[in-house]
Amino acid sequence: MTQALLKGKYEYRRRLPHYQKDDRALFVTFCCGCLDPLPESVRDTVLRHCLHDQGTKAAIQAAVVMPDHVHLLLRPLRDLDGNLYSLVEILQGIKGASAHSLNRALGRSGPVWQEESFDHVLRSEESFLEKLEYIRQNPVRRGLVTRPEDYRWLWVG
């Protein structure tokens, strides 16, 4: 994996390129690697881990834990030295801690999440609102609920 920080732009590459720009919101999706579907009993735990660094490493605008994937809408924040937290750092915290808790709760071991995530830098307020609505409507589109607010594992800040 290569990483570079170039004047307000963070990039890392695995199989897909990942970009991060200063003070821009990101739409992120990561998928289950081995548990499909995620048992309802652990979705609360996953959502709690998604929101754990709310206000410290990231301003989480929305999160939804679906049976086979997670969507996040977030803006990375800055540390005490003014450096932007990287998406890698934010996602490692969420995915690592939630996988550990999930494995412990289910009495299993091994990877939970696919290594790769999908992310998109949002360029406008319109794009932000579109992704926010996409996250809200995801459980409705999947036929899990009839109204977004009825889905237990949806959080909008």
Place of tokens 């934010």: 90
Q: Is 90 exceeded by the pLDDT of residue 118? A: no
Stated pTM of the model: 0.83
Print the domain residue range for 152: 2-156
**Average pLDDT score over residue span 51-71:** 95
pLDDT band at 21 (very low <50, low <70, confident <90, very high): low
DSSP states of 12-77: EESSSEEEEETT--EEEEEEESS-SSPPHHHHHHHHHHHHTTBTTTEEEEEEEE-SSEEEEEEEE-
Which of 1-15, 81-95, 110-124 is predicted least confidently? Answer: 1-15
* CATH code, domain with 46: 3.30.70.1290
Identify the pLDDT of residue 16: 46
Q: Mean per-residue pLDDT for 23-38?
A: 86
Q: Given a cut of 80, is residue 47 above it in pLDDT?
A: yes
Percentage of the residues of the chain whose pLDDT score is greater than 90: 66
The number of domains in the chain is 1
Residue 29 identity (one-letter amino acid): T
List Cα–Cα distances, 105 to 32, 45, 90, in angstroms.
Answer: 16, 9, 23
